[in-house]
Every structure is written in C-alpha cells, then in structure tokens.
Chains A and B, each alone.
Chain A
Amino acid sequence: MSPRRTLHTNLGPMAIGRVILAALLVLAGCQVQFISDYDEQTDHAATALQQKIEDFLLRMQAASESDLPEARALRPFEANQDFYREVEVDLSSMRLRAEAIPQNNLTIEQIGLLEQSMQSMRQLHIEAGDRGLRRVVVIPLRTGINTQLGAIIKLELAKKRGEAG
C-alpha cells in the first residue's frame, strides 16, 4: 500500500494577511445585493388596496349601526360580493408582479398571507349574516389588515436603500 501524500503548508501571519488583502481587493470592485429593488407599482398597489379595504370596512360598520332600510340592505355578504371579487383580482395582480421580480420571496409571502386574511374576512362577513360587519368585528379586522398592508409597504420602501424619491 503506497503511503498517503500529505501536503504540508506553513503560511505565516504575513502571508495570510496578503491572502485576505487579495480577497478584499477582488471583492471591492463588487456590490452585494440580497433582496430585490424597490418596485413603485407594488408600493402604489398596496397603498390603494389599503384605502379600498379601509373605506369598505368603515361603510360596513356604519351600515351595521343604522336602522335605515338602505343601510340594512348594504349589510349582508351577498350585497358586497363585487368588493371581494375586486380585492381578489387586485391581490392576484400584485402577486403576479411580485413573482416576476427576482429576489422578492419575502414580499410574495406577505401577499400570500394577505390573501389568506381576505378569505378570513370573507368568512366573517358570511358568518355575520343580516347583522353585517359590526364594530366589534371591524376594529380588529382593520388592525390586522392595515398591519399587513403596512408591513408590505414598509418593506418595499426599505428596498429603496436610502435613494432619493
């Protein structure tokens, strides 16, 4: 059996320093990027969606607190299906765009969570029946949904990385 060859090295501190320096010099010409660039459309879409949902929830709360016939007619889920369909389309567009941008997994996941929350909100509205979305439901709904949209917007703005605009 032939003896194993062993490579013996004896790099002194000066040599190690030179290796580190060489590596740094190679890297210095580069810039690293681990997350996608800022996307204005995602920012604006999330902002517009926040306004749409907020407006809807406040109208539903008002309808639940009024005894007027027109307010009662506005309360049930069946009278508001267009709203849920529109939001579903808005979120689908946002997700499609986010998926087309490289290094954008965090935002994609956030949009997925928002889609889940909108499904829960839809269920809440169905569950509410003729009472509609009462204040005791709308308050925590607004907090949850606004927090999610706020998180999406905050992350998107951070991707500007201190650029002007």
Chain B
Amino acid sequence: MAELNAKHLVAQMLGAAAKVLKKDWKESKSYAEMEFTKLAQTIVMIQTNHALGQLSTTEAKLLLDIQKNAMRSVMLTLEGLGIIAVEKAINAALKVVRDTVNSAVGFVLL
C-alpha cells in the first residue's frame, strides 16, 4: 500500500479546486460585464429622455426602480454562480482525496 502524504494531497486538492474556480470566474465575469453594460446604457437613456421631457418624473422613477431590481437580480445570480463554483471546487478536491486513497489501498475504499 502506497503511503499517503498530507502535504502532497493538499497540494493536489488545491490544484483541482483552482482549475474549477478559474474557469467559472471567466464565465461569470463575461456575464456580469454584458448585463451591467446593458443596464448602465438603459439608465443613461432614461435620464436623457427625462431631461428632454419625453418621460415624466414619475415614469423615470418607476423605470429606474426596475433597472435597480434588474441589477440586484444579476448580483443574486453572480452570488449563486460563485456558490456553485466553490461547491464544485470543494467536490473536485474531495474527489482527488477519494481517487488517491483508493489508488493507494488498491481497491475502492471511499
């Protein structure tokens, strides 16, 4: 039976976790950039149209409330994506431990 080394195991786990987090952050960042750009442009448009008299103050306020809700919804999705990424990273690290232990003992122990 091969000897298990905690330090080595931790390094392998960190490597597996980092891979997952890096990939997921790239996707989240792209989504966030796209949505925030759209919302920022819309907010500017509302303010411009209000200044031009094409939107009443009440209309502008209601429309801005909706953009705020949209921004908050996007943030909640990013929070969820982050939680799932951490979950996947931890599970990837735990899988490394399972695979290493099973390989060391020569049969499926975990």
- Using CB atoms and an 8 Å cutoff, list the residues of chain A in contact with chain B: 17-18, 20-21, 24-25, 27-35, 106-107, 109-110, 113-114, 116-117, 120-121, 123-124, 127-128, 136-137, 139-141, 143-145, 147-148, 150-152, 154-155, 158-159, 161-162
Contacts and interface: CB of A to CB of B under 8 A. Distances in A.
Task: Describe B's contact surface by its main secondary structure.
Answer: helix
Contacts of A145: 66, 70
6 contacts: A106-B77, A113-B76, A143-B42, A144-B66, A148-B73, A155-B80
B70 A158 contact: no
A143 B55 contact: no
Interface in B51-104: 54-56, 58-59, 62-63, 65-67, 69-70, 72-74, 76-77, 79-81, 83-84, 86-88, 90-91, 94, 97-98, 101
B76 A127 contact: no
Contacts of A109: 76
A106 B76 contact: yes
Contacts of B9: 21, 24
Most chain B CB inside 10 Å of its own CB: which residue of A21, A107, A162: A21
B91 A24 contact: no
Interface residues of B, number: 47
B2 to A, nearest CB: 13
Contact of B54 (A21, A136, A158): A136
B55 A136 contact: yes
Contact of A155 (B4, B5, B63, B77): B77
Contacts, number: 145
A148 B38 CA distance: 12
Nearest to B73: A151
Contacts of B73: 110, 113-114, 147-148, 151-152
Contact of B45 (A21, A34, A140, A158): A140
Contacts of B59: 124, 127-128, 137
A145 B74 CA distance: 12
Contacts of B69: 113-114, 116-117, 120, 144, 148
Contact of A140 (B58, B67, B74, B87): B67
A123 to B, nearest CB: 5
